[in-house]
């Protein structure tokens, strides 16, 4: 074992007894390079983060030029500085007019915490509905709305008055009542293994929320920033939420998140008490500059327009393999389902050995995750699919 690996096991907090433990020294475009110089295709984008690939020159340039001007000035919300203001304005330009006010955070979990806080304070109610097999983050509030009782019971007591319903089940929406603050839901359920609900479901959800005065929070932390082939996942289903959360792909590789809403709902944290939500690093100038560059690059490089045809190529090349049980996909958010975790794991291990990084999902270990950088080109897709198909044929 290398010296670095030993230090990793000794001094870095471990999140599992069997980390991937690849020793990565460099990353560029869709590739990662380990300490021996071996090249890997990153087909999961650091879990839907590197939508522009690694070290996109526009993001690097934004980070470099902003860090020469200033980095941290003051806690979020006190000083007026250009990167933060321009990013918030840019987000309001590309979102529906009701989502005009942004609060910038450091991560997705923090964005979810903020969303829950403004929703509860605005409505005065306490019950929150979320979906089974949903992941919304690891802080205590975000964990409370997670959809896995077995997992979260280990950290109890959590927030009270949380109900989990089945994603996509119209009947379950009846649980939403005039006691419900909000439903927090993803436009595509990511960690359940790319689960897609019907249009009828979204229509019924919207109707039920309108009838009961319940807010809709869309967690777009994985689906946002082009992952589903639209800038935001909700554009696929035609519902505008009351609150949206972003993170992951927003910073082009830099840590930043956001919860976004209307002026009215956001003002819940402005008074009674004042400073109702405080963050030291939220909206950090360097991260905000990176995020601005990231949004502009997605648009300039026409990555949204290309996402569907690239995803179609993945679909064509993989779903012809009859050993695959199911292929689920919306834009560049894809899952390949096999009979069991054991089969999936063996295939994933071979892929990694052959230089293609994939993964399974937190709440669906029979399915392989494919969430490549949106910049991947068709030749690279063909190469990746050849390796995946060979691995499938070797295992099954």
Ligand X SMILES: Cc1ncc(COP(=O)(O)O)c(C=O)c1O
Q: How far apart are CA 294 and CA 180, in angstroms?
A: 36
Closest distance to ligand X from the beta carbon of 221 (Å) = 4
State the residues that interact with ligand X by CB under 6 A. 47, 107-109, 112, 135-137, 186, 190, 219, 221-222, 247
3-state secondary structure of 165: strand
Rounded to whole angstroms, the Cα distance separating 373 from 389 reads 20
Angle, CA of 167, 262 and 274, to the nearest 5°: 110
Q: Which residue shows structure tokens 């009782």?
A: 149
Residue 163: which of 188, 138, 134 has the closest Cα? 134
CA distances for 352 relative to 70, 277, 365, 388, 391, angstroms: 40, 42, 16, 10, 10
Cβ 223 to ligand X shortest distance, Å:
8
Distance of closest approach, residue 81 Cβ to ligand X, in angstroms: 23
Helix or strand holding residue 370 (H, E): strand 364-370
Q: Output 136 or 230, the one with its CB closest to ligand X.
A: 136
Whichever of 51 and 380 has its CB closer to ligand X, that residue is: 51
Q: Which is nearer to ligand X, 237 or 392 (CB)?
A: 237
Query: ω into residue 6 within 30 of 0, thus cis?
Result: no
Nearer residue to ligand X within complex by CB, 109 or 127: 109
User: 3-state DSSP call for residue 24?
Assistant: strand
* Residue (49 or 95) nearer to ligand X, CB: 49
Between residues 52 and 188, which has the closer beta carbon with respect to ligand X?
188
At closest approach, how far in Å is the CB of 330 from ligand X?
14
Whether omega before 75 lies within 30 degrees of 0, making that bond cis, reads: no
H or E stretch at 87: helix 82-94
Distance of closest approach, residue 233 Cβ to ligand X, in angstroms:
10
Residue 39 CB, nearest approach to ligand X (Å): 26
With contact defined as beta carbons under 8 Å apart, do 300 and 198 qualify? no
Angle at which helices 303-319 and 285-300 cross, to 10°: 70
Minimum CB distance to ligand X smaller for 219 or for 306: 219
The distance of closest approach from Cβ of residue 52 to ligand X in the complex, given in angstroms and rounded to an integer, is 17
Taking each continuous run of H as one helix and of E as one strand, the counts in the chain are: 13, 15
């Amino acid at each position: 074992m290398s010296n670095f690996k030993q230090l990793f096991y000794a001094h870095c907090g471990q999140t599992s007894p069997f980390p991937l433990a690849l020793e990565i020294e460099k990353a560029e475009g869709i590739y990662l390079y380990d300490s021996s110089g071996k090249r890997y295709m990153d087909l999961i984008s650091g879990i839907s983060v590197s939508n522009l690939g690694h070290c996109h020159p526009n993001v690097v340039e934004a980070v470099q030029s902003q860090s020469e001007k200033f980095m941290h000035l003051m806690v979020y919300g006190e000083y007026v500085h250009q990167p933060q203001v321009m990013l918030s304005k840019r987000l309001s330009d590309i979102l529906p007019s009701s989502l005009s006010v942004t609060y910038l955070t450091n991560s997705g979990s923090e964005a979810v915490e903020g969303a829950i806080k403004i929703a509860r304070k605005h409505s005065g109610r306490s019950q929150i509905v979320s979906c089974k097999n949903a992941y919304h983050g690891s802080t205590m509030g975000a964990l409370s709305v997670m959809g896995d009782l077995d997992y979260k019971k280990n950290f109890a007591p959590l927030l009270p008055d949380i109900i989990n319903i089945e994603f996509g089940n119209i009947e379950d929406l009846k649980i939403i009542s005039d006691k419900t603050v909000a439903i927090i839901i993803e436009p595509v359920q990511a960690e359940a293994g790319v689960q897609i609900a019907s249009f009828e479901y979204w229509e019924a959800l919207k109707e039920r929320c309108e009838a009961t005065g319940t807010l809709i929070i869309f967690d777009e932390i994985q689906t946002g920033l082009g992952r589903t082939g639209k800038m935001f996942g909700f554009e696929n289903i035609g519902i505008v939420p009351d609150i949206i959360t972003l993170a992951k792909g927003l910073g082009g590789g830099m840590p930043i998140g956001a919860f976004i809403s209307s002026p009215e709902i956001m003002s819940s944290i402005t008074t009674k008490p004042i400073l109702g939500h405080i963050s030291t690093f939220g909206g950090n100038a360097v991260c905000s500059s990176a995020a601005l560059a990231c949004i502009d690059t997605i648009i300039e490089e026409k990555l949204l327009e290309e996402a569907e045809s690239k995803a179609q190529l993945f679909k064509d090349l993989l779903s012809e393999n009859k050993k695959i049980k199911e292929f689920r996909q919306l834009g560049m958010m894809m899952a390949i389902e096999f009979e069991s975790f054991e089969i999936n794991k063996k295939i994933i291990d071979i892929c990694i050995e052959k230089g293609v990084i994939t993964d399974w999902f937190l709440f669906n270990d029979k399915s392989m995750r494919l969430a490549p950088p949106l910049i991947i080109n068709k030749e690279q897709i063909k190469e990746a699919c050849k390796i995946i198909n060979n691995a499938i044929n070797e295992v099954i």
